[in-house]
Amino acid sequence: MKAYNFLAFDLGATSGRSVLLTLQDGKFEMREITRFPNAVMELHGKYYWDIFALYKSLKQGLCTCAKENIPIDSIGIDTWGVDFAYIGKGGSILGLPRAYRDPYTHGMEEAYFKKVARKEVYERTGIQIMNFNSLFQLYAAKQEEYEPLENAEEILFMPDALSYMLTGKRICEYTDASTSQILNPVTKQFETRLLEAAGVSPSLLRDVVMPGTYIGELTDAIAQETGIGKVPVIAVTGHDTAAAVVAVPSVDPEFAYLSSGTWSLMGIEVEEPIITDESYEMNFTNEGGIEGTTRFLKNITGMWLLEQCRKEWEKAGRIYSYSQIVEMGESAKPFRCFVNPDDPVFANPSSMLKAIAGYCKTTGQFVPVTDADFVRCIFESLALRYNEVICMLKKLAPFTIKKLHVIGGGSRNKLLNQFTANAIGMPVVAGPSEATAIGNGLVQARSAGIVTSRWEMRQLVVNSIPTETFLPQAQELWREAYTRYDKIVNQQVYK
């Protein structure tokens, strides 16, 4: 069988990569070609993504492939959700895209609900209410009289904006658009009423296309500049979690997944959206998946807490490897303090260490002292939060959940995987860690006709990537810990 080379551009909130997936004889191999930083940029109190730096980094990945004489069959791009670029009437990108951590959306959801009721917004979109969703970003921009919005002909979500920069062709990919809180998950069309209530023209958004759609070839200028030639660009599962779920190594549809990274996304894959009074009260979301499926999930603040602590430690001259951090977590005394990772105080604090310490003090708990104390607090709190969410999922899922697949970078954290198994009381299957890039590449393979379904894609993952299973331990201790956690973060007995 011919070897196929698919180039996956996988962009996260803190870094991006170009990854080569080579598929041959029913298996694939992966190789990281380039890695580059990505970060929110603050300017005059507003927060942006430097899309032009990202564009330059994508071209560098193409240049590297050309220099190494790697023939590329196609290219795909996945990113985080909700954020977008404004496109002017002449096709220019109007300024830098605003970042979802920009405080301009604070309180905007409640202001918007005076125009359209909260429950109606949920019933029309099935999306978890979060202040930074695209709908509320557009409403906030309208209230600001934000100049790029005032002059925009169209908006393009982040993966679509980057593919537009590479090809000159504009599309609106389904999975990323589904995170916006504007798309109806049943009709798969944008809700004009919601846009009009925000004071925004529905013409800003075009009809969605499904993952696997051909966008176009690289522009002549990029093909020549990079030396890579006229390579086709495919609309993959543009939202990174959708890409990661493609790569869940399961041949059984009755699974739950946890895509673990800066954010932790816990959910199930279903054929139809779940929009009920219970899902509304529990604030679950219905996002788009491969083959028109629904990713029924909840967003959980994940390794963001640890990432921000590490930045502070590094500034103080304490630089820890990931293995050292795991050892620190193992060495610290257990069950001394817990936090709710999704408390607004942890969204974007000036000091994460102070935010965690302040939360523990306010709730009458032990206040972390050593760096190891902070690590243990974060890992235990995440595991207990995962148990809280999976208990909700069990009530809403149309099937019995028997195991949890942990995918993404966090799947390499053996201590957190074991804590999670202990907390949820069921097996945790860890891997692949590169699920997002794998899913990106496999959707390109499906577009090329090499595989025909998501189950064939997942069988390729099973054939190619080893996993590790963690079984529950110390069940009674973790049940007692969860009872304490629940009182602290939900019943607020100390507040």
Side chain identity, residue 72: I
Contacts of 352 (CB under 8 A, 6+ apart): 305, 308, 309, 311, 312, 346
Catalytic residue among 78, 83, 240, 373: 240
**pLDDT-based confidence at residue 471 (cuts at 50, 70, 90):** very high
**pLDDT-based confidence at residue 492 (cuts at 50, 70, 90):** low
Average pLDDT over residues 269-285: 96
**pLDDT-based confidence at residue 263 (cuts at 50, 70, 90):** confident
Instruction: Identify any residues that bridge with 7 across adjacent strands, giving them in sequence order.
Output: 20, 75
Asked if pLDDT for residue 376 goes beyond 70, the answer is yes
**pLDDT-based confidence at residue 490 (cuts at 50, 70, 90):** confident
Question: For the range 272-276, what are the long-range contacts, defined as Cβ-Cβ under 8 Å and sequence gap of 24 or more?
Answer: 272/186, 273/126, 273/185, 273/186, 274/126, 274/396, 274/398, 275/122, 275/123, 275/126, 275/185, 276/396
Please give the distance of CA 477 from its chain centroid, rounded to a whole number. 32
**pLDDT-based confidence at residue 493 (cuts at 50, 70, 90):** very low
Asked if pLDDT for residue 1 goes beyond 90, the answer is no
411 vs 415: CA distance, rounded Å: 10
Q: What is the pLDDT of residue 491?
A: 66
Tens digits of residue pLDDT in 31-46? 999 999 999 999 999 9
Q: What is the pLDDT of residue 251?
A: 87
Architecture of domain 4-240: 2-Layer Sandwich (3.30)
212 vs 291: CA distance, rounded Å: 9
> Is the preceding peptide bond at 71 cis, omega within 30 degrees of 0?
no
Asked if pLDDT for residue 27 goes beyond 70, the answer is yes
90, 168 Cβ separation under 8 angstroms: no
Domain spans in the chain, listed from the N-terminal domain onward: 4-240, 248-433+465-495
Average pLDDT over residues 330-334: 98
Domain 248-433+465-495: which CATH number of 1.10.240.10, 1.20.1730.10, 3.40.640.10, 3.30.420.40 = 3.30.420.40
Tens digits of residue pLDDT in 397-406? 999 999 999 9
Q: What is the pLDDT of residue 494?
A: 35
335 vs 280: CA distance, rounded Å: 32
Average pLDDT over residues 388-405: 96
Asked if pLDDT for residue 444 goes beyond 60, the answer is yes
Q: What is the pLDDT of residue 13?
A: 87
412 vs 181: CA distance, rounded Å: 32
- Measured between alpha carbons, how far is residue 105 from residues 98, 108, 138, 275 in Å? 11, 5, 9, 25
Asked if pLDDT for residue 383 goes beyond 90, the answer is yes
CA dihedral 132, 233, 155, 148 (to 10 degrees): 100
93 vs 86: CA distance, rounded Å: 6
pTM for the structure as a whole: 0.93
Task: Name the more confident of 181 and 251.
Answer: 181
Average pLDDT over residues 380-395: 97
Of the chain, the percentage scoring pLDDT greater than 90 comes to 96
Average pLDDT, the chain: 96
Whether 342 is catalytic is no
- Measured between alpha carbons, how far is residue 95 from residues 47, 49, 127, 133, 142 in Å? 12, 10, 28, 20, 16
For the record, the structure tokens of 134 come out as 């695209």
Asked if pLDDT for residue 339 goes beyond 60, the answer is yes
Fold matches, 4-240 and 248-433+465-495:
yes
339 vs 349: CA distance, rounded Å: 15
